[in-house]
Amino acid sequence: MALSACERGSQIGTRLLVSAESLTKAAQRLILPRDALAPEYGADQISPDFKPNGSIDPAAADYLALKANGFADYRLEIGGLVERPLRLSLAELRARPSRIQITKHDCVEGWTAIGQWSGAKLSALLDEAGLRPEAKYIVFHCFDALTQTEDGPRYYESIDLIDARHPQTILAYDMNGEVLGVPHGAPLRLRVERQLGYKHAKYIRRIEAVESFDHIEGGKGGYWPDRGYEWYAGI
Ligand SMILES: Nc1nc2c(c(=O)[nH]1)N[C@H]1C(S)=C(S)[C@@H](COP(=O)(O)O)O[C@H]1N2
Ligand SMILES: [Mo]
């Protein structure tokens, strides 16, 4: 009797432990400070095959012209609700404060991959441009239309100022120690490590500080959010 009760007890105990563990994970997500760092990995953990996803070869004429010239004429525009709009070449971006990090990318389609990213710290660029007090979100306008046609709606995404100022939020120009390739978002793509994959805008054309999304496309703050995905995709 005592033994079976004990066995039963330990079974219940295991079940409780399992559910307590998932509860802890859920609770941790709720209470984990927004500025906590995403885990970083060792160079030996970099995925040999990091899957390119979504757009992998933009067809827009303005993008093709820049690509043909090795992005020498590319200028990143930072505008909207800023005191000092910026237009920066890739060389100028490389001269700005930067960060290098090895992180895990997490796509809603159910795959992950670890990669090394280096890029300009978004917080420093926003300080340089000087956000106006009304600015609440940072919008990333991209070159690509997911339909691979020239006139389809272009990809865009947005994040709030907590993610924009997060220390691991960078505009990446290198991946795994090499210049960022076209499939992964050349010449410049966002890494916002506390968010799911679709928030990481590739092929960034222009950055706009805004107070709301009402004036942009479907008004939900992103290409996929306009099509039903959550705008906030924190992990
Ligand atoms: N401009 C643009 N950015 C994008 C996408 C896209 O189609 N266009 N796809 C998103 C999705 S769903 C994912 S998972 C990642 C994929 O990044 P990768 O190609 O480096 O794997 O890019 C994101 N950023
Ligand atoms: Mo994704």
Q: How many domains does the chain have?
A: 2
120: in domain: yes
Are 169 and 215 within one domain? yes
- Phi, then psi, of 19 in degrees rounded to 5: -70, -30
Nearest to 143 by CA among 29, 30, 66: 66
40: in domain: yes
Are 196 and 116 within one domain? yes
Domain containing residue 42: CATH number = 3.90.420.10
pTM for the whole structure: 0.89
Torsion of CA 139, 233, 195, 173, to 10 degrees: -40
Say whether the peptide bond before residue 167 is cis (omega within 30 degrees of 0). Answer: no
Predicted local distance difference test score (pLDDT) of residue 37:
97
From the CA of 21, how far away is ligand 2's center (Å)? 27
Are 111 and 173 within one domain? yes
Q: Give the domain range for residue 139.
A: 35-227
233: in domain: no
Concatenating the DSSP letter of every residue in the chain gives -HHHHHHHHHHHHHHHHHHHHHHHHHHHHHHS-TTPPPP---GGGS-SS----S-SS---HHHHHHHHTTTTT--EEEEESBSS-EEE-HHHHHTS-EEEEEEEEEETTTEEEEEEEEEEEHHHHHHHH-B-TT--EEEEEEEEETTSSSSSPEEEEEEEHHHHTSTT-EEEEEETTEEPPGGGTTT-EEE-TTB-GGGS--SEEEEEEES-STTSTTSSSSTTGGGT--S--B-
Task: Kindly state the percentage of the chain with pLDDT values over 70.
Answer: 87
From the CA of 109, how far away is ligand 2's center (Å)? 6
Pocket of ligand 1 (CB under 6 A): 51-55, 107, 142, 144, 146, 155, 184-185, 197-198, 200-203
132: in domain: yes
Predicted local distance difference test score (pLDDT) of residue 4:
46
Report the DSSP beta bridge partners of residue 98.
Answer: 120
Taking residues 90-95, what's their average pLDDT? 98
From the CA of 4, how far away is ligand 2's center (Å)? 49
Q: Whose CA is nearest to atom 15 of ligand 1?
A: 197
Q: Whose CA is nearest to atom 5 of ligand 1?
A: 54
Of 80-84, 145-149, 159-163, least confident by mean pLDDT is 145-149
Neighbours of ion ligand 2 (CB under 5 A): 107, 197-198
Predicted local distance difference test score (pLDDT) of residue 8:
44
Taking residues 54-73, what's their average pLDDT? 97
From the CA of 186, how far away is ligand 1's center (Å)? 11
Are 20 and 53 within one domain? no
- Which pLDDT tens digit goes with each residue over 184-225? 999 999 999 999 999 999 999 999 999 999 999 999 999 999
pLDDT tier at 147 (50, 70, 90 boundaries)? Answer: confident
Are 5 and 68 within one domain? no
